[in-house]
Each structure stands twice: as structure tokens, then as C-alpha cells.
């Protein structure tokens, strides 16, 4: 019995020293450049480390596709651990439009169906491949990339990023779904004003 007490005293002394194996985000507190402040370890439950939100998304929309994120905002246990997740669903003809993740590289694992995915490098080279279930593709950080359904049935993928907060900039939304003035879009993309205004109309942009 004394032995246990001696040993446990060692144990408590040591565990006292080791407070941050993880840092489950307290989303109510202000973020810092390294992520959110942690909730106290005593309030962390085993279920906090599990995320159940990557259910099939609703693809009844203009792109016949859905992105369901499991970033730190949805999955606070990711905070500080340098990883996040998402699920892609692509109905037939579904497209995840051209986009970038400013803060992370991405690995995509095909769950179902067939997906044509690609990215373009800084050197303007094109890397496009058509993937089957079980295949993996990596997209280097910050480069424009896309995924489209390459088959006749639905397709789905699980993706992970090496940041709890990878960001997501969808090209069409950046150009056409906000108040960036048409003349600035025209001037910086060489698209014509008619095209820009039409897409602003479709996507709810102004200016």
C-alpha cells in the first residue's frame, strides 16, 4: 500500500508537468495565430476526439456537389494538432469548382465512384488524373485544384489537410459572389464585362 502511495505521488508530480498533449478549442474565446485557447483538460471527454459530421452532403444544387467540412470550427479537438478533414459528395455531373486552400496541402481518398481531379502548378503545368475508390491524390498547398465526377453514379471522397484551419477560396465566389467591382474583375482577369456581370448575377454578386 505504501508502495502505491509512493508511486502515485510520483505519478501526480509527473502528470502535473504535462498539460498539453492536445488543446481542444474553446471556440468562444478569441483565436490566436496558433489557434484557439484550450478548454481545460478536465472538461475534455473521449467523444470530443470523434467527429460524426462527415455525412453525405446535399447535392441538389447548381454544382451537383457538396463539401462538408470538419475543420476546427466543427471539430474543436483538431485545434493545435495540425490536421483537418472534409467530405466531398459529387452527384452525377457534380463538380467541386476550381479552388485553393491557402494554408494547407490536401490528401484526397476516393470512397465511391470515379473522380477526375487536378491541379495547376506555379510553373503553369497541369496535373490531372482520374481516380477510383481506394486511390489517393495529393494537392500541394495553395495551388488551384478541382474535382469532378468522372462516372455516371454518385462519387464521394474523404479529404484531410495538414492544418486545423486550411482555408478555402473558391475561385468563382472570390470573383463573382461579392462586391468586387466588375471593372476590377475585368481588369485583373481579362474576362469581358458581359461574362463577369452574368456570373455575378448567377452567384449573387454586386458591383
The answer to the question of whether 145 is labelled as a binding residue is: yes
The answer to the question of whether 31 is labelled as a binding residue is: no
Q: Closest approach of Cβ 152 to a second copy, in Å?
A: 16
Spatial separation of the C-alpha atoms in residues 39 and 18, rounded to whole Å: 15
Q: Does 184 bind a second copy (CB under 8 A)?
A: yes
Would you state the cell numbers that stand for residue 120, as one nine-digit string? Answer: 495547376
**Quick check: 84 and 115 in contact, CB under 8 A?**
no
Spatial separation of the C-alpha atoms in residues 171 and 173, rounded to whole Å: 6
String marking each residue 157-176 x if it binds a second copy according to CB under 8 A:
-x-x-x--xxxxxxxxxxx-
The answer to the question of whether 43 is labelled as a binding residue is: no
Spatial separation of the C-alpha atoms in residues 165 and 170, rounded to whole Å: 15
Q: Among residue numbers 6 through 45, which ones bind a second copy (CB under 8 A)?
A: 6-11, 13-23, 26, 29-41
**Quick check: 131 and 62 in contact, CB under 8 A?**
no
Q: Does 127 bind a second copy (CB under 8 A)?
A: yes
Q: Closest approach of Cβ 116 to a second copy, in Å?
A: 8
String marking each residue 57-96 x if it binds a second copy according to CB under 8 A:
---xxxx--xxxxxxxxxx-xxxxxxx-xxx-------xx
* Residues annotated within a binding site for Mn(2+): 99, 101, 106, 145
Amino acid at each position: 500500500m505504501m508502495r502505491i502511495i509512493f508511486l502515485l505521488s510520483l505519478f501526480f508530480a509527473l502528470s502535473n508537468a504535462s498539460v498539453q498533449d492536445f488543446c481542444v478549442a474553446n471556440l468562444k474565446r478569441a483565436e490566436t495565430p496558433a489557434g484557439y485557447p484550450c478548454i481545460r483538460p478536465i472538461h475534455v471527454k473521449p467523444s470530443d476526439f470523434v467527429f460524426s459530421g462527415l455525412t453525405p452532403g446535399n447535392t441538389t444544387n447548381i454544382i451537383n456537389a457538396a463539401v462538408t467540412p470538419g475543420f476546427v470550427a466543427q471539430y474543436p479537438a483538431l485545434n493545435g494538432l495540425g490536421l483537418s478533414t472534409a467530405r466531398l459528395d459529387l452527384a452525377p455531373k457534380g463538380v467541386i469548382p476550381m479552388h485553393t486552400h491557402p494554408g494547407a496541402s490536401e490528401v484526397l481518398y476516393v470512397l465511391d465512384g470515379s473522380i477526375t481531379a487536378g491541379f495547376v502548378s506555379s510553373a503553369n503545368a497541369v496535373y490531372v488524373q482520374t481516380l477510383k475508390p481506394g486511390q489517393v491524390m495529393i494537392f500541394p498547398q495553395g495551388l488551384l485544384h478541382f474535382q469532378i465526377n468522372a462516372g455516371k453514379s454518385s462519387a464521394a471522397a474523404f479529404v484531410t489537410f495538414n492544418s486545423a484551419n486550411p482555408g478555402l477560396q473558391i475561385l468563382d465566389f472570390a470573383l463573382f459572389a461579392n462586391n468586387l467591382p466588375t471593372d476590377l474583375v475585368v481588369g485583373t482577369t481579362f474576362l469581358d464585362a458581359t461574362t463577369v456581370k452574368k456570373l455575378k448575377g448567377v452567384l449573387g454578386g454586386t458591383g
